[in-house]
Structures are given as structure tokens and as C-alpha cells.
Amino acid sequence: MLAVHEDRLAEAVARLGSENAFEILARARELEARGRRVVHMEIGEPDFDTPENVKKAAVDALYDNHTHYTPSSGLPSLRAAIASYASRFRRVAPEWGPENVVVSPGAKPVIWNTLSALLGPGDEFVYFDPAYPAYASCASYLQASVHAIPLLESRNWRMDLDELARRVSKRTKVVVINSPHNPTGGVLTKSDLECIAELAQRYDFLVLADEIYSRNFYLGSEYLSISSLPGMRERTIVVDGFSKAYAMTGWRLGYAIMPENLAKAATLFNNNTFSCVATFVQMAGIAALTGPDEPVQRMNEIFRARRDRLVKGLNAIPGMSCLLPEGAFYAFPNVSTITQDDRALAKFLLEEGGVACGGGSSFGAAGKGYLRFSYAASLEDIDWALDSIAKTLPKFKG
Ligand SMILES: Cc1ncc(COP(=O)(O)O)c(C=O)c1O
């Protein structure tokens, strides 16, 4: 068999990032296979079952032989359902149509394919730090000129807007925002969004708004999308999907909504890579959007209770301090008085304490000195994890 030596790999491979959470998950599973108890707080995956009506729709679709290719942009009926749901939920006028929607196997590939349709070598791309790793990985692969704006703990993990205003110019092509935010749970305010929208119009850049956690939102108010602000419908790419809201991570179903000409270009990348999403999975997506919303709301109430328990418990552990996340399902405690080597601490908590979590620096330099806990775990598991952290931490030699 031909061995693939490192020197055979394309140079561009070195520019790719990766999601460290998958590596921690693999190690956690190894420990479990050896009989160890592990509480999984490392990966962003709801632990709930997918709602019954969604599973039934997929099974029915299979038995009705919906097992063939669809258009690369997605089934027209799913694209229409997405356009209608997303316009109503975000209060966008005029409503988006199916021509604005690109369906993909999860939100992650549609981020890749949309950025591929937009960025070339040297194009200016602005995101934030800490961040979900996929944005910078893709932009670096495409040889864009990549700039990160720090998120500030002192602003409840929102962007340093002065720094953003200094950074963007007529050369900026795309700015990414992610609210609610992975890994901190921060939510941008109306005035943050208005400021970003004003800059977008002044300097003529596009905003890629990753809104995958828009249903995991704990403020009493309605969710606000930048796409609904005046002048922003035409310059926003909204990324969303089914993984987080409907506990469908393993189904692989997501989408983005964007101006029609860009949707056509992004679809060309779908066509060249995965061709289309599994048809019965797309049919399940229609059931999710048009069926009862109660399962989504119920999961969210449970997440809120877990958040409260986890954050209270983390703040009771000497050396840790954690803001109350306003969305998503992550807590991001500051552990900088314990160590600067957050990844070593995360490894220690897994190996010694059976608590799987992530090091903040896996999400960028500004995450150094923090840990990320996903609270997609039961209250009982959260209590066990908090107890184990409290007992294990004093043994850590930072
Ligand atoms: C901010 C953010 N965007 C996008 C995704 C991708 O989700 P998926 O590909 O499962 O739809 C994730 C997953 O963790 C995420 O945290």
C-alpha cells in the first residue's frame, strides 16, 4: 500500500485548523471503555433525543422511498419551509424566499462553502477571538487576510467594538459574528448589532451571522438577528441548522440564507462536494420546522436550569469565576489564577477527575486561561462533575 508521507500532502493542509473537542471526546470514550465514569461536557451536542415527530417523518420518508438525489441547494419544499420559518422568527421583511436558502449536511459545511464563494487570497476577513474554529480554518485555507477582534469578559463576552471600528475598512469583505456565542455563551445587544450594521453599510462588507444557537437563548426578550436591521437583509448571510435546536447533531442538517446570487455560488460548492443532503433527512427537517415547537422550548428550559446549577457550582470552586451565559449551552469560567495552561488543566480534569471539558485556548489566543464546559449533561451529572472538580483541582500542579 502506498504510504502518504508528509511531503506528499498539499501545502494548504498546514493552514487548516480543527475542533479540539472531537479529540477530547475520543479520549473520554477510551477512558469509559476501560470502565471509568466520565461526564461529557467537552462537545457541543444536546444530550436529548430528537423529537418524535422528526424521527417519524424520517422513517416515513424512507419507507416512501425518498432515497434519491435532490437539487444541490436542497429540496424546494425544505428551502421554502426554512425561508418561511427564518423570516418569521427573525422578523425579516420582505420575507426570504427559497432562492435565498442553501441546505447542507450541518451548518459547518455551509460556512465553508459560502466563504469559499466569497474569499480569495488577500481578501480581508474579520472574525472574533475566542471563536468556533471553523471560520478561521476556512479563511486561512483560502489565504484570506484574517483578523481577529477580541471578545471581552468585561463586556459579558461581547466584541470590542472600538477595535472592530479601527480594524474594518473599504478593504474588508466579510465580518463574522456569532450570537449566542460558542464558547462563551455571550449575546450581542441591539446597540452592538446596530453598530456592526452601521459599519457594514459604511464600508460595504457582508456580515456572516452564525445564529446556530438562536433557539438556545435565555434572555426574556425576543431574539434579535442583525439581518432584521434596516439595510441588512441584503448584506447578511444567516447560518443556522437543526443540530442544536432540535438535538439533531448526528443527522447532519443545516443551512444558510443569503442574497440569491451568492446562494447560487455557494450551491456550486455543494454540487462539487457532497452533491446533496440525504433526502429523508431533509424531509425530517420540514417536520421539525412545521411541527410543534414545544420540544425545542422544553429542551431550552432544561438547559437554563442546568446553566444555573453549573455556573453557581463553578463560582463556588476556589480559583474559578464564571459569568452567567445568556445563550448557547456553554459556561466559560476564568481559571487564570489557577493556571495559564488551560489545556493541561482540561486534560488533568479528564484523566484524574473524569470530567471532560475543553481548554479555552483551543478557541483562540483570547481563550487562554479559561475552560469551556458544555452543559448538555443531566443535573445529576453536573453535580457529580462539580464535586469531582472540587476534589481533583487541589492536586493540579499548574
Ligand atoms: C458556532 C457554531 N457554528 C456552527 C456549528 C456547526 O454545527 P453543525 O455543523 O452541527 O450544524 C457549531 C457546532 O458546534 C457551532 O458551535
Residue 179 has pLDDT above 90, yes or no: yes
> How far, in Å, from the CA of 108 to the mean position of ligand 1?
6
In tens, the pLDDT along 252-303 reads: 999 999 999 999 999 999 999 999 999 999 999 999 999 999 999 999 999 9
Among 188, 243, 248, 332, name the best residue to mutate to test ligand 1's pocket (greatest count of ligand atoms within 8 A of Cβ): 243
Maximum pairwise Cα distance, the chain: 59
Measure 322 CA to ligand 1 centroid, in angstroms.
23
Region 19-29: what's the mean pLDDT?
Answer: 90
pLDDT band per the 50, 70, 90 thresholds, residue 2: low
- Residues with a CB atom less than 6 Å from ligand 1: 44, 106-108, 132, 178, 182, 210, 212, 241, 243, 249, 254
Query: How far is the centre of ligand 1, averaged over its atoms, from the C-alpha of 180 (Å)?
Result: 12
- Residues 237 and 114: their CA atoms lie apart, in Å, by 9
For 224, list phi and psi in degrees, rounded to 5: -115, 125
Atom number in ligand 1 closest to CA 249: 10
Compute, in angstroms, the gap from residue 187 CA to the centroid of ligand 1. Answer: 16
Residue 167 has pLDDT above 60, yes or no: yes
Nearest CA to ligand 1 atom 7: 107
| Span 15-41, average pLDDT | 93
Does 328 or 21 have the greater pLDDT score?
A: 328
HEC states along 293-327?
A: CHHHHHHHHHHHHHHHHHHHHHHCCCCCECCCCCE
User: Which atom of ligand 1 is found nearest the CA of 253?
Assistant: 11
Question: Could you give the CA distance from residue 314 to residue 323 in angstroms, rounded to a whole number?
Answer: 10
Report whether 333 contacts 327 (CB < 8 A).
Answer: no
| Alpha carbons 264 and 235: distance in angstroms, whole number | 15
pLDDT band at 75 (very low <50, low <70, confident <90, very high): very high
Tell me the torsion sign for CA atoms 93, 95, 100, 102.
Answer: positive
Q: Give the separation between CA 242 and CA 245, rounded to whole angstroms.
A: 6
Task: Give the three cell numbers for residue 390.
Answer: 472540587
Rg over alpha carbons for the chain, rounded to the nearest Å, is 21
pLDDT, average across residues 351-369: 96
Give the number of other CB atoms < 10 A from CB of residue 297: 10
At residue 184, the pLDDT reads 98
State the SS3 of the chain. Answer: CCCCCHHHCCHHHHHCCCCHHHHHHHHHHHHHHCCCCCEECCCCCCCCCCCHHHHHHHHHHHHCCCCCCCCCCCCHHHHHHHHHHHHHHHCCCCCCCHHHEEEECCHHHHHHHHHHHHCCCCCEEEEEECCCCHHHHHHHHCCCEEEEEEEEHHHCCEECHHHHHHHCCCCEEEEEEECCCCCCCCCCCHHHHHHHHHHHHHHCCEEEEECCCCCCECCCCCCCCHHHCCCCHHHEEEEEECCCCCCCHHHCCEEEECCHHHHHHHHHHHHHCCCCCCHHHHHHHHHHHHCCCHHHHHHHHHHHHHHHHHHHHHHCCCCCECCCCCECCEECCECCCCCCCHHHHHHHHHHHHCEECEEHHHHCHHHCCEEEEECCCCHHHHHHHHHHHHHHHHHCCC
The pLDDT confidence band at residue 18, using thresholds 50, 70 and 90, is confident
Mean predicted confidence (pLDDT) in 238-253: 98
CATH for 6-50+295-392 is 3.90.1150.10
In sequence order, which residues have a C-beta less than 8 Å from that of residue 182 and are 6 or more positions away? 44, 131, 132, 212, 213, 328, 330, 363
State the distance from the centre of ligand 1 to the C-alpha of 318, rounded, in angstroms. Answer: 32
Cα 198 to ligand 1 centre (Å): 27
- Which pLDDT score is estimated for 273? 97
Q: Whose CA is nearest to atom 16 of ligand 1?
A: 182
Q: How far is the CA of 133 from the centre of ligand 1 (A)?
A: 10
- In the beta sheet, which residues pair with residue 174? 125, 206
> Quick one: which atom of ligand 1 is closest to the CA of 107?
11
pLDDT digits (tens, 9 = 90+) for 312-354: 999 999 999 999 999 999 999 999 999 999 999 999 999 999 9
Task: Give the atom of ligand 1 at the shortest distance from the alpha carbon of 109.
Answer: 9
Q: Do the domains at 6-50+295-392 and 68-290 have one common CATH topology?
A: no
Distance CA 156, CA 151 (A): 9
Q: What is the residue extent of each domain of the chain?
A: 6-50+295-392, 68-290
CA-based nearest residue to 280, from 60, 51, 49, 50: 60
Mutating to test ligand 1, I would choose from 212, 216, 251, 281 the residue with most ligand atoms within 8 A of its C-beta, which is 212
* Cell numbers 461536557: residue: 41
- Mean pLDDT score of the chain, rounded to an integer? 96
CA-CA distances (angstroms) from residue 102 to 51, 66, 166, 262, 367? 24, 20, 33, 10, 32
pLDDT of residue 6: 66
Architecture of domain 68-290: 3-Layer(aba) Sandwich (3.40)
CA 46 to ligand 1 center in whole angstroms: 12
